[in-house]
Amino acid sequence: MRVFNCDHCGHLVFFDSVRCLHCGSELAFLPDQMSMAALTPAPQDGPDLWRRRGRRGTSEYSGRLYRMCRHHTNLQACNFAVPANDFADLCVSCRQTRVLPDLSDASNLRRWKQVEAAKRQLFYTLARLGLEPVPGTAGPVFEFLADLPGGPPVLTGHLGGTITLNVAEADDEERARRRIALGEPYRTLIGHLRHESGHFYWDQLVRDGGQLEAFRAVFGDERADYAAALNAHYARGMDLGDWATRHVSAYAASHPWEDWAETWAHYLHMIDLLETAASYQTGVTVPDPNSPARHHVTDPFAVPRPLFQDMVRQWVPLTLMLNSLNRSLGQDDAYPFALSSGAMVKLRFVHDLVQAQFLRRAPQAGTPA
């Protein structure tokens, strides 16, 4: 995630911070403002209310009142705040989760906290892109489940607007086991959520957005038998053919729906990494004795927003540097992909749909550009 500053003392803080280590202020993320804020108790205004602290004499000192999300108060599991005039006891992210695992099991509680943290990161990115639902529209709902002894395994997936995730994916060893068994180079909680959100937004932006023919021209015909396509994909084992010329991953080659979801996830990877790098004012020079090129990373949410081709020009050297840094620490590549021109065409398709949706909804969504 990008970095923030405490709006009381200016010290560096992070998206998941709950206290400023410099001034001691309580911190919360304010989804209505899309910002981190220092809060101070306001018992004179009502029980469990907090007032935005800020710095007196500045625009941040708004005096707005908030409550902490119930999952923060009861379980120390969330750092989002709820405006005092919103009578829900859960924040906008936590209230999207419809089913929880048995939290009396300490392992499930730990796993669920990690999953919700990844979901808040997804919420942030979708909101910045103008994709979080506005009044009168439906958003994705989530079911986070654990396998039960003797019961069927919980499968991660999307169906009819509901995203299901097996909380066992929060365990590093389990996630690594599944990644190796499936021959995947990358498997993370945020990757799962980004992928499954892609299926939800395919319904919203492609199917219901009148883009089916345009989608089929780029990704193929999604009416192909889905179950048969996945069975054929897994039956091939590691012999997956020349998928890299047109797809972002091997799994993307299994079916047009999965091609879209994998491409969507990669687009969110790109947006998040560029925003994080821009918040550190990152510049990258690719070593080349003949013509070294310097790339200054631009915030993808800058006004005006950067062109897709400019983001790609910055993305490629940024991932090279990221992977080199990881290798210097003895870690695997953080981004183990090399995107072909065919995959870039699909990323551009996703970008154009997202930007068109943002431009249509920005006036009423109130999302900062």
The pLDDT value recorded for residue 292 is 75
Peptide bond into 304 cis (omega under 30): yes
- The per-residue pLDDT for range 136-145, each reduced to its tens digit, is 556 799 999 9
Residue 364 pLDDT > 50:
no
Residue 366 pLDDT > 60:
no
Token match 């990669």: residue? 266
Q: How confident is the model at residue 62 (pLDDT cuts 50, 70, 90)?
A: low
Q: What is the rounded average pLDDT of the residues 358-367? A: 59
Alpha carbon distance 272, 256 (integer Å): 24
Q: How confident is the model at residue 255 (pLDDT cuts 50, 70, 90)?
A: very high
Report yes or no: 28 and 50 within 8 Å, Cβ to Cβ: yes
Q: Which of 86-95, 135-144, 156-165, 351-360 has the lowest average pLDDT?
A: 135-144
User: Token pair of 60, please?
Assistant: 């941040």
Instruction: Give the full edge-to-edge strand order of the sheet including 141-145.
Output: 97-99, 141-145, 162-166, 157-159
Q: How confident is the model at residue 289 (pLDDT cuts 50, 70, 90)?
A: confident
Nearest to 211 by CA among 107, 353, 100: 353
- The per-residue pLDDT for range 297-311, each reduced to its tens digit, is 999 999 889 999 999
Percent of residues in the chain assigned helix, strand, coil, to nearest 5: 45, 15, 40
202 vs 58, residue with greater confidence: 202
Alpha carbon distance 289, 134 (integer Å): 51
Residue 293 pLDDT > 90:
no
Alpha carbon distance 117, 107 (integer Å): 16
Nearest to 157 by CA among 118, 200, 196: 196
